[in-house]
Structure 1
Amino acid sequence: MFDLERVREDTPGCRETVFLDSAGSSLPPQVVVETMVDHLRRETQIGGYRAGSERLDDLAEVKRSIATLLNAAEPATSIALSDSASRSWTDFFYAVPLHAGDRVLISEVEYASNAIAVLQRARATGAIVDVIPSDSTGQIDLTALESLLDDRVRLVSLVHAPTNGGLVNPVAEVVELAHRVGALVLLDACQSVGQLPVDVAALGVDALSATGRKWLRAPRGTGFLYVRAELAAALQPATLDLGSAAWTAADDYTVAAGAARFEFWEHDVAARLGFGAALRYLLDLGPDTVYAQVAERADYLRTSLAELPNVTPLDLGSHRSGIVSFTVAGVEPENVRDRLAADNMIVTVSHRSSTLLDMTARGISALVRASPHYFVSHDDLDSFVAAVACL
């Protein structure tokens, strides 16, 4: 049974604010902060190297927790820890061989960082970038995707849940079509892991990138890459160091096995231990319970805002995530954000530049993004809706 009072007690920040920006950087549970601070104190006593060595088992457990959450096999060889979702995404993408005439498919809700990387490599290699259209609901058009696929497609970049709204794309269906022609599927799960079920075995994705700071409620500077273990062994990362490879002779080196080849030796141990604490907190609550609580709050907020005459809901898709996007008539999104912040209500603004294709097609320059996590109460949501109505 979900205990709202307990999770609110574990989240001091939600007592002071109506916090609706978990799609940006969520409020970590107190145990995450304590875990990090305890380790930093230990570093002041014996230094970072020895303090880190004391926690090797705990650091390995972070990967096991991720594997449990994703239903991933062989965490030691399929999970690489990183400092962000973008780092994980680009590390994998730049390891996929591309040559002149090869094709990369992206969707209309592609995130800016991903799109920039795709365009940069296309310019450097002569690869071709094609955009998969959306269907009438805003989701990726599977019929159009099937018509675009051929044996020149090397990679399909799929955003599970875009940064600028509540849409959820169909993953398993995209993977099934892409694999027919031998294309890889790289899933950007930055906005889905922690708030939606993500089962890599069932979905069949080749790789997946995610961050800790959003729906997983972990510290900034944490993220991970999942790669099918057999695929990881066939890829050569664009950059290596003494953590991802071993210098074996004056003119030779050996790349680490599995996903470890995507990890650099230097990292923030305290942040990763905090990441592990956040993962354990989620697993202890029960992921399915968390997913249901997030979905219920997003639906409640979306429905309540839609009843206001001055609000235009902007979420697409037939299946919705915990992100609720909208505009307020006559009030710029930045002004909405700032006026709400003055009342200790935290939302953010998504601008056209972050999802250029989608927002240009819809004629939107900016929108307000509210993302309630499970620690947000219904009283919080009612207060927020009343504040928006006053705008």
Structure 2
Amino acid sequence: MTPLEVQQLRDATPGCQSGIVHFNHAGASLPSQATLDAIIDQLQREARDGPMEAGEQGALLLEKARRAAGQLLNAPAASIAFASSGSTAWSMAFQALGPWQPGERILVGRHEWGGNLASMELAVQAGARVEVIPCDETGAACPVALASMIDSNVKLIDLTWLPANGGLINPAQAIGEVARRHGIPYFIDAGQAVGQLPVDVQALHCDVLKAAGRKHLRGPRGTALLYVRPDFLERLNPAQRDVFSAPWTAAGFDLRNDARRFETSEVSFALLAGLGNALQEMNRLGIERVWERVEQTSARIREALCQMPRISLHDLGSARSGLIAFNLAGWDAFELKRSLGLKRINIGANSVAYTPLDMQARGLTSVARISVSPLNTDQEIELLMDALRELRD
């Protein structure tokens, strides 16, 4: 991306005009004015024409968003469902895979998102076991070790592709090749991947993939994507149904034969209009170019942090994402986040609950987290480093 293109992105983003430096894109990124306009336009349509009457236009915008999501993921539009959050989307798919039986096994990466592990408790209560895939020498989930764990009791392989607590990029495609070779369902939590780096669900060999709209896609909060491989759909029996996900037929209520079996009749068309705009913007910009910019920006930040005394980085893996986990000696991560916020610089902070298996394995109680976007500039990096030096001294 050229400097002019970056400036054009920033000019179209109200948050970049606020005087706040935003390095918390992994928490929630900054929407464009066009995304805000899409939300407001639908709300005004509902206020003017009636909320139900404006639903017809809202439904058209929803389907436009579905096609844009399919384009971004290299997936059929019919394989995309929308949900209110990534955790909701993942939990619905997981619960639909049941019922669970004693002795069944769920294999997860050590970096699994805490919300997914919480959902797995229902399976554990039924007698299933959650087991951790060993890491390789870089700290990433190891496909070779995974292959040695496979037996007839393995019912699910689940991977958090880019963990919330650092820059690791797990080998999602290699894990998927093991799952596909053995015919085992494979779920990917791509909450930090979609919108940051290229995602091709065909190449990943995944059966289910989820992502939140508010993170690197720059969509509104309260939106999420759920991809379900079409040939896998019949193996999922959602517990939550209504007249939309299971419409009435001559034979009674019947589940839809596409991913909309995970949707309900009551949705926020306004939020999904905003998400649709954000997805279209990402497709126009080009995810490969976004990823190149993220790699360049995060590399500069890592280099600057490495040169700063009393900073410890917590990167794992051989490839690094735009999430940079670190600690400043003598500072609690959440207090550091608060103090930087007072300087009008936003970063994130994670506790053990976010990634409990990995944090406990590494003896980490909390980490501060910088996460970047194509919106970030060299000047913002300098402001961040100056602020960290002031707090360090």
TM-score of the pair, normalised by structure 1: 0.96
* Alpha-carbon distance, 1:296 to partner: 1.0
Say which SS state the counterpart of residue 255 (structure 1) adopts.
Answer: coil
Deviations 1:138-158 (Å, cap 9, x if unpaired)?
Answer: 100222211111121111010
Contact 1:149–1:178, Cα closer than 8 Å, also in 2 = no
The answer as to 2:18 corresponding to 1:19 is no
State the match for 1:190 in structure 2: 191
Deviations 1:46-99 (Å, cap 9, x if unpaired)?
Answer: 111111212332211111101111111x212x1111111111101111111322
* Alpha-carbon distance, 1:41 to partner: 1.0
Question: What does 1:20-99 correspond to in 2, within 5 Å?
Answer: 20-72=23-75, 74-76=76-78, 78-97=79-98, 98-99=100-101
Contact 1:233–1:259, Cα closer than 8 Å, also in 2 = no
Contact 1:104–1:157, Cα closer than 8 Å, also in 2 = yes
Contact 2:82–2:223, Cα closer than 8 Å, also in 1 = yes
Question: What does 1:1-391 correspond to in 2, within 5 Å?
Answer: 1-2=1-2, 3-15=5-17, 16-72=19-75, 74-76=76-78, 78-97=79-98, 98-123=100-125, 125-248=126-249, 252-391=252-391
Distance 1:252 1:283 in 2: 40
Deviations 1:111-136 (Å, cap 9, x if unpaired)?
Answer: 1110011122221x211211112222
Deviations 1:330-358 (Å, cap 9, x if unpaired)?
Answer: 11112211111111000111001111111
Letter in 2 for 1:32: T
Distance 2:117 2:349 in 1: 20
List alignment gaps of at least 5 residues for structure 1.
none
Letter in 2 for 1:182: G
Distance 1:179 1:199 in 2: 15
* Alpha-carbon distance, 1:9 to partner: 0.5
Say which SS state the counterpart of residue 339 (structure 1) adopts.
Answer: helix
Distance 2:272 2:140 in 1: 34
Letter in 2 for 1:100: P
Contact 1:187–1:205, Cα closer than 8 Å, also in 2 = yes
Contact 1:111–1:162, Cα closer than 8 Å, also in 2 = yes
Distance 2:277 2:177 in 1: 35
* Alpha-carbon distance, 1:24 to partner: 0.3
Contact 2:160–2:170, Cα closer than 8 Å, also in 1 = yes
Say which SS state the counterpart of residue 326 (structure 1) adopts.
Answer: strand
Distance 1:216 1:162 in 2: 17
Distance 1:372 1:128 in 2: 36
Contact 2:107–2:156, Cα closer than 8 Å, also in 1 = yes
Letter in 1 for 2:202: A
* Alpha-carbon distance, 1:225 to partner: 0.6
Q: After the TM superposition, which of the residue ranges 230-239 and 286-295 deviates more from structure 2?
A: 230-239
* Alpha-carbon distance, 1:101 to partner: 1.7
Distance 2:380 2:358 in 1: 31
* Alpha-carbon distance, 1:282 to partner: 1.0
Say which SS state the counterpart of residue 238 (structure 2) adopts.
Answer: coil
Contact 1:313–1:326, Cα closer than 8 Å, also in 2 = yes
List alignment gaps of at least 5 residues for structure 2.
none
Contact 1:230–1:258, Cα closer than 8 Å, also in 2 = no
Say which SS state the counterpart of residue 100 (structure 1) adopts.
Answer: coil
Q: Measured at CA, do residues 135 and 79 of structure 1 come closer, stay the same or move farther in structure 2, by a change above 3 Å? A: same
Contact 2:350–2:366, Cα closer than 8 Å, also in 1 = yes
Contact 2:59–2:269, Cα closer than 8 Å, also in 1 = no
- Percent of aligned pairs with the same amino acid: 37
CA RMSD of aligned residues (A): 1.3
Letter in 1 for 2:302: R
Q: After the TM superposition, which of the residue ranges 270-279 and 254-263 deviates more from structure 2?
A: 254-263
